[in-house]
Each structure stands twice: as structure tokens, then as C-alpha cells.
Amino acid sequence: MRNNIASAYLARWSFSFLLLFMPYVSWGQYDGRCFTSDVADEKKPIRASIQKDTVIALETDREVTTLLVSGNCSFLNEKSCVRILLRDNYNYEHLIYENYPLLAGSGQVVFNDIALETALLDKSVLPKDLVIRIKDATMYLSSVSYGSGQSKEANVNTIRKEQCSQVAKKLNENLVRQKIPWRAASNHITEYSFEEKKSMFGGDVPFLYGFDYYSYGVFIMPGMQDQLRQSVLRNDSSQYVREWDWRNRHGKNWLTSIKDQNTCASCWSFAAVGVIEAYFNLYYNRPVNYDLSEQEIISCNGVYGCGNGDPGAALQYVKSNGLVKESCFHYMGYAADCSLKCQNPDDIIQFDDFDYIANLGEDSIKSHVMKAPITMTSYLLSHVMTLVGFKVLEDGDTIFCKYIDGPPDIDPVREGVIINSTDYPQCVGVNAWLVKNSWGTSWGTNGYGYIFTDISDIYQLHSLSGSIYSSLYDEDDVVCEDADGDGYYFWGIGSKPNNCPWWVPDEPDGDDSNILLGPMDQYGNIVPVNPSGDGVTHIYSTQTITADTVFCHNVIVHRDATLTMTSNVYFHHGAKLIVHDGGTVNIDGCNVIFADMDLANGGRLNITNGGKVIPFKNNPFTVPLDASLQIDRGTIMRRD
Ligand SMILES: [Ca+2]
Ligand SMILES: [Ca+2]
């Protein structure tokens, strides 16, 4: 019977918390021996009703290894969360209890002699008080239970791991049941002690609502479920491309490896360095993959250390001082002295400038991230990450079923959440952001994740601008190449470099890994290469080309018309020079490079004054029997 009530409850609970009066409450989120202790032997009543952050003095002089709590709480909305900490006489804090609707699986929970960290502490502590943090919830705390010593087989690490895997399991049950498109797994971050988490977040651990457990799919920020249901967030009118992913642009991954900030509140430094490293790759259009020193920023910026910082301050430090490589100042994960930086760095990276980007909405942020990765802070999570792409979720998408950096046959993460209109109808058509996190590769999908959040949750957006350089790389090192051979070149994200060949068009290739795709518009849409489509040049009379010219489309020389070229002409891949019966082409002392030429019977081609015809990629060049070919001090040659 309870199951039926529970499912009915859950179905309706998704619509509203008005149903808090339903008789169903949940015990199950902290099931199992790992959440309790058999050494607790003393129960003390508390009997406190709690609606706001509260400290309750414990007034005991007993040293304990176990402290369990009993009580119940009610959640008011998706952002509800409760947390009970044990503060000992050294002011260390130990997590006794934490819960929120997604983990609880319902709007009300009862807890009876359970605990997280304080199920078993690795050494005895003298309890001073209970620190209770509460958001949009009410709690009744009935009692605490104390215990000392350890049961025989108990081991703190084993218990912690078991607790985390139980939490992940419970989250997954609720995620599936409530049709929320992400999945949880425990990892080294979830296994941190509360003191370690405090260190990682700079003192004040935000409510994470399971974000630390995120494994794959699309993390839905708390508070967004109701908005999703109202379908007001679909971005159907956006002109922007539906997906952008800097791990796969031009057939390459432009992002550097995933790092781990450990227990230092340095996400702001990692997010900024993630932006700089990617910008370096993109600026030079080559995978330099610099591993730069987050530690230098933490140690030498003079303000933040391992306290929560600002990605803008990190970029300002690098703009002013440059940044050494990891090998010169290894990551130490604490505010080590700046003098530990090596004395003679082999390279220092600097850039011209960076910009603070005002959050003008989803499309505006998309336009920036399409230029290069940017920093981004989630207000709710108090956490800075590198924003590296986005995706409008489509019916049938599988979110993260592929291993990104390796062959698919050794893929350790084959599972993915399939966004479909049966299970996740509310998600189809909404935009998720792709973030590179600094919590190691065991978090998320190889360190990356998709998040769906309110646009107002996003701030501290910063992008690099202008040139980036080092003692080893300057403008001459920008690669200007046509990797796919379609005649369009890519030279990274700077302006067209001087070392491009003369025939390189001003518009870069929108996808230099696809011969059928040419330039890209401002919304990221790529125009298929269609040389015979709009833009064909027709020559009907006499015309002379006297300046170097690039043709992306066919050029047709009609009957009785004459096209004379005295300056170099380049025809893009697939673009033909077509000479009809009675038409004449004069190549007068210049180079003409083309992929193909159609010389009709009755057409005339004259090559004079050292003129050269250079068939592109050594395509065959044929002259039909009844066409006229005259060469007077000219050449038809192979192209190297
Ligand atoms: Ca190309
Ligand atoms: Ca292309």
C-alpha cells in the first residue's frame, strides 16, 4: 500500500509541494548499517523545532566517536536543504546529517538514530554544539545519541565509501523515478570529509544538491524542474546553432586535460587557466596543450590564496605578470609561498587583454563561447568552471554515452541518458551548458558535464581577447591551413595571419575537417560548399582580371566572350573554370590555380608570357580535340 501511495505522491509531488500533507514520509534515503552505529549507548532529548540556521549547545563532557540524530523535516520546494553539523571543542565540524528533496525522494523525511561522518569518527571528539543550516525547510530534532569506541570490523574509510555509494544509489532511484535526466556516482569529492569540503569551498560549503555526485546526463539545477514543466525555457526562436563543443571542432579537441583542485578553494584559478590554455591552442591553430600553473595564480596574486577567488582576478594577474608552466610551479593545493616558483622558467605565457562579459541572456553567452571557452560561475553552487559549449537537447539525444578521448571499444562509460519525449518531454528543446570542471576525471563524464540552470544563476563570465604569446610562440607560428582541402582555410581565432598564401580567402573555414562545409555565419551555422550555386560568375563580353583574385564559385566564359587574367587567380575546391564553345581565356603572365577546368569543343585557352596553369591537387587537365590550346612561353604544371 505504501508503494502505491508513494508513487501517487511522487507523481503529484512533481507538480507541487502542496502535497506535503500527504501521509507518505520517507525513511529510506539513509538505509543501512553504514548510516548508524551499534556503539551508541546514550540518548539525550533535544526537542527543538527549527526554521532557521541555529546552533544548539550540547553541554556534555563525554568524548564520543559516534553521534546519531533523530527527528524529521519537511521541505518546502526544490531548493530546500537541511544540514546538521557536529562542532567539537576544537571547532572542527563533522557532518551528521544532510538532506534535500531529490535525495529524500519526498517532501518529508523522518530520521532515527542515523548519521553520516559521525556514524564513526576516526578519533574521539568532545562535542560542543550542533550547527544547523536550513533553507526553505522546517526540522524537528528530537534527540542525539552518543557512543564511544568502535565496533569490531568498523573502518572509517570503508564506511564513508559505503555511505557515498548508498547515496548515489538513492539519488539514481529518485532521478529515474522523477524522470530527471542525470545520473549519480560516488567519487573522491563525495568522499571528502566535511572539513575537506570546507577547505575546497573556502570555508562555507554550499548546498550542492547532488552536484558533487553528478556522473553523466544533464544536471538540472534545483529550482528548474518547475520551470521545465512550464515549457517556458525552450529556445525555439534562437538563430544559433544547436550544439557547440570545443572538444570537437574542426575534428579536433581544443581543450587541455582535466585537472583536480583537490581541497583548495581554487576553482577560480583552474577555470581561468582552462580558458587560457584553450585560447593558446585556438590562437595558434595547433594543439600546443600547455599545462600552465594554477599554483602561481593562487600563490602570487597576493589576495585570495586558497580562499574563494574571482576568475577575473586570476586573469588580471596573468595579464599583468604572465604565467609560468606547471613544470615551473607544480600544483600544491595550498597557499604555498610565491617564492617556490622556479627561478628560470623556460616559457611565460601572456595575453593582450580579457573582457568581462555582461550576461545578456542565453544567445549572448552562446555568441561568446563560440569564439573561445570562457569562465563561468554558478551562483547557487558557489563554483567557477570553464564554459566550453552548449547543446539544445533534441529528442533521441544520448547525453554522454561516448568516451571522449579514447577509442569507443575501450569506453568505460557506455551508459548515457537518452533524452526522449516519453521520459523527458520537458527537456526537449532546452539549452544545456557544457562545462569543464576542476574536480578530476572521476567527477562527471571524464571531468565534463552538462548543466541546465536559470540564466540568472550564471555570472563572472570572462573571455580573453587579442593576441596570446610566449617566449616560444608568436604571430609567425599561427598555422594557416586548409586541412580538408576545400579551399577554405582556418587560422584559429585571431585575425588572418600574414603567413597565409595569397589565395586564402578572408572568410575562414567553418569546419576544416569537412570538405563539404565552408564558411560559418555569426550564429555558427555553416554554409555547404556549393560552387555551382549562388555566386557563379558569368563572363559575356571582354573582361580582364588585373588583381589577385579568389573564386569560390564557378566562372563561366560564354560564346564570344574573353576572360584575360594578368594577375593570379585561385579557384576553390570544386569551383570550375568553364569555357563554352566560342569563349576565350587568356592567361597572361600569371598563375591560375584551379581544381578543374571544362574547356568545351570550340573553346580557346591561350597561355602566354610565362603564364602557368596549376591544376589543384593534381587533378587531370584535359583539352578536347576541337578546343584550341596555345602556349607561348607558358606552362601547365603539377602542383606540389
Ligand atoms: Ca578547409
Ligand atoms: Ca571545410
Averaged pLDDT for residues 570-592: 91
Mark the residues whose beta carbon lies below 5 A from ion ligand 1: 482, 484, 486, 488, 509, 512
384 alpha carbon – ligand 2 mean position (Å): 34
517 alpha carbon – ligand 1 mean position (Å): 8
370-425 pLDDT, tens digit each: 999 999 999 999 999 999 999 999 988 888 764 444 444 555 545 788 888 888 88
496 alpha carbon – ligand 2 mean position (Å): 16
Averaged pLDDT for residues 352-373: 96
In single-letter form, the type of residue at position 604 comes to: R
283 alpha carbon – ligand 1 mean position (Å): 17
Starting from the CA of residue 519, give the closest ligand: 2
Residue pair 573/485 in contact (Cβ under 8 Å)? The answer is yes
502 alpha carbon – ligand 1 mean position (Å): 15
Starting from the CA of residue 518, give the closest ligand: 2
pLDDT band at 93 (very low <50, low <70, confident <90, very high): very high
Starting from the CA of residue 482, give the closest ligand: 1
pLDDT band at 47 (very low <50, low <70, confident <90, very high): very high
639 alpha carbon – ligand 2 mean position (Å): 21
CA atoms within 13 A on the CB side of 322: 13
Q: What pLDDT is stored for residue 361 in this prediction?
A: 92
Helices and strands in the chain, H and E counts:
9, 36
Q: Which of 248-252, 402-406, 440-444, 493-497 has the lowest mean pLDDT?
A: 402-406
489 alpha carbon – ligand 1 mean position (Å): 5
Q: What pLDDT is stored for residue 16 in this prediction?
A: 44
Starting from the CA of residue 514, give the closest ligand: 2
Q: In DSSP terms, which residues pair with 551 in a beta bridge?
A: 571
Averaged pLDDT for residues 286-299: 97
Residue pair 114/92 in contact (Cβ under 8 Å)? The answer is no
For residue 255, what are the contacts with CB-CB under 8 A and spacing of at least 6?
246, 247, 274, 277, 278, 281, 373, 386, 388, 436
pLDDT band at 2 (very low <50, low <70, confident <90, very high): very low
Grid look-up 581561468 returns 272
Burial 147-169 (b: 16+ CB within 10 A, else e): beebeeebebeebbebbbbbbbe
Torsion of CA 4, 8, 14, 15, to 10 degrees: -170
Beta strand pairing status for 448-452 and 214-220? parallel
pLDDT band at 195 (very low <50, low <70, confident <90, very high): very high
Q: What pLDDT is stored for residue 269 in this prediction?
A: 97
In whole angstroms, give the CA distance from residue 555 to residue 619: 18
Nearest to 187 by CA among 219, 212, 156, 218: 212
Averaged pLDDT for residues 342-371: 95
Q: What pLDDT is stored for residue 527 in this prediction?
A: 81
Q: What pLDDT is stored for residue 110 in this prediction?
A: 95
356 alpha carbon – ligand 1 mean position (Å): 32
Starting from the CA of residue 489, give the closest ligand: 1
490 alpha carbon – ligand 1 mean position (Å): 7
pLDDT surpassing 60 at residue 231: yes
Q: What pLDDT is stored for residue 20 in this prediction?
A: 39
239 alpha carbon – ligand 2 mean position (Å): 21
pLDDT band at 520 (very low <50, low <70, confident <90, very high): very high
250 alpha carbon – ligand 2 mean position (Å): 8
Starting from the CA of residue 529, give the closest ligand: 2
526 alpha carbon – ligand 2 mean position (Å): 9
509 alpha carbon – ligand 2 mean position (Å): 5
Residue pair 3/80 in contact (Cβ under 8 Å)? The answer is no
Q: What percent of the chain is predicted at pLDDT more than 70?
A: 91
pLDDT band at 462 (very low <50, low <70, confident <90, very high): very high
Q: What pLDDT is stored for residue 24 in this prediction?
A: 47
548-557 pLDDT, tens digit each: 888 888 999 9
286 alpha carbon – ligand 2 mean position (Å): 17
Q: What pLDDT is stored for residue 14 in this prediction?
A: 43
pLDDT surpassing 90 at residue 357: yes
183 alpha carbon – ligand 1 mean position (Å): 39
In whole angstroms, give the CA distance from residue 223 to residue 77: 8
Could you please report the per-residue DSSP string of 106-137? SSEEEEEEE-SGGGS-SS-B-EEEEEEEEESE
366 alpha carbon – ligand 2 mean position (Å): 22
Q: What pLDDT is stored for residue 17 in this prediction?
A: 44
pLDDT band at 205 (very low <50, low <70, confident <90, very high): very high
In whole angstroms, give the CA distance from residue 163 to residue 169: 10
Mean pLDDT (the chain, rounded): 89
483 alpha carbon – ligand 1 mean position (Å): 5
552 alpha carbon – ligand 2 mean position (Å): 12
242 alpha carbon – ligand 2 mean position (Å): 19
Q: What is the 3-state secondary structure (H, E, C) of 403-449?
A: CCCCCHHHCCCCCCEECCCCCCHHHCCCEEEEEECCECCCCCECCEE
501 alpha carbon – ligand 2 mean position (Å): 17
Q: What pLDDT is stored for residue 42 in this prediction?
A: 95
Q: Which of 108-112, 257-261, 448-452, 533-537 has the lowest mean pLDDT?
A: 533-537
Starting from the CA of residue 480, give the closest ligand: 1
Q: What pLDDT is stored for residue 406 in this prediction?
A: 47
528 alpha carbon – ligand 1 mean position (Å): 12
pLDDT surpassing 60 at residue 7: no
Starting from the CA of residue 515, give the closest ligand: 2
For residue 151, what are the contacts with CB-CB under 8 A and spacing of at least 6?
37, 38, 39
Q: What pLDDT is stored for residue 153 in this prediction?
A: 65
Most confident of 305-309, 322-326, 570-574: 322-326
Starting from the CA of residue 483, give the closest ligand: 1
623 alpha carbon – ligand 2 mean position (Å): 30
165-187 pLDDT, tens digit each: 999 999 999 999 999 999 999 99
pLDDT surpassing 70 at residue 502: yes
Q: Which of 48-62, 408-422, 503-517, 542-556 has the lowest mean pLDDT?
A: 408-422
User: pTM for the full model?
Assistant: 0.88
Q: What pLDDT is stored for residue 232 in this prediction?
A: 60
